[in-house]
Structure 1
């Protein structure tokens, strides 16, 4: 007969966050700057490498402030580090109908910047989660074990 501790030992805890941080910020340039500063401070507390994480935070937060802005609504910065050494950066905004897409070619600078191309280059993985309506979350993950 299995006991509860026997069952718990079979649970994979590698993806469960050992550190978590989340903060709402105004969807402004000042809010985007504050996201970068708060992320850098939190990474220092966790003794995690600053770069390229703070660059990714800066790009995702700036994108939320510019392209995901809804009057009167904020965006949320979330950071989490898992037991297997993955840093997940997530920026959630209130403009779910405006979903970024991967690009095979460089974007037209008149239409948008190069922020997501930079994120794609720096992150080990990235993507978009849509919902709950009207929100979306753009996330990026870094494997910290290779960067320490």
Structure 2
């Protein structure tokens, strides 16, 4: 079973707008991650691009390269000040992502190049085995001066 136990701090929940969901490590789960992120960003009144593209790439990587049959991946979004942080956690901690240029007409291998181009910052956080979290941060425009509410 793939469960996590976390302490819930109601004061923090209101201070930092956040959204977190566990999804199946499949192409369908990756598509759903993008759709749910789009909906949440709209609720918060934040721009959906390039965040949607970042979520799509990170979720697709989790479903493709981070897939372990029977285990899920987690999408987490949160806003601190004027920065949106997108995190995707999967259960293939031994497979760390690397940016590489695909050769010739290869049909895949460009996802992290896109993440690198769109994100202000991105990286990988190795966690307690067997997990890893790939994250990306982007500015939210004028969001630092307005209040984003968590729903």
With the length of structure 1 as denominator, give the TM-score of the two structures: 0.81
Q: Aligned residue for 2:52?
A: 54
> What's the Cα RMSD here?
2.1
Residue number among 16, 19, 25 corresponding to 1:18 in the alignment: 16
Q: Is the 8 A contact 1:49 1:147 kept in 2?
A: no
Q: Aligned residue for 2:130?
A: 134
Q: Aligned residue for 2:26?
A: 28
Q: Tell me the SS of whatever aligns to 1:100.
A: coil
Q: Aligned residue for 1:5?
A: none
Q: Is the 8 A contact 1:124 1:141 kept in 2?
A: yes
Q: Aligned residue for 1:66?
A: 64
Q: Aligned residue for 1:77?
A: 75
Structure with greater Cα Rg:
1
**How many residues were matched structurally?**
130
CA distance in structure 1 between the aligned counterparts of 2:15 and 2:84, rounded to whole angstroms: 9
CA distance in structure 1 between the aligned counterparts of 2:89 and 2:28, rounded to whole angstroms: 17
CA distance in structure 2 between the aligned counterparts of 1:41 and 1:102, rounded to whole angstroms: 29
The offset of 1:146, in angstroms, is 6.3
Q: Aligned residue for 1:92?
A: 89
| Closer/same/farther in 2, CA of residues 76 and 17 from structure 1, 3 Å limit | farther
Q: Is the 8 A contact 1:17 1:81 kept in 2?
A: no
| Closer/same/farther in 2, CA of residues 147 and 59 from structure 1, 3 Å limit | farther
Q: Aligned residue for 1:125?
A: 121
Q: Tell me the SS of whatever aligns to 2:41.
A: helix
Q: Is the 8 A contact 2:82 2:142 kept in 1?
A: no
The offset of 1:144, in angstroms, is 1.2
With the length of structure 2 as denominator, give the TM-score of the two structures: 0.80
CA distance in structure 2 between the aligned counterparts of 1:17 and 1:101, rounded to whole angstroms: 34
The offset of 1:107, in angstroms, is 2.6
Q: Tell me the SS of whatever aligns to 2:56.
A: helix
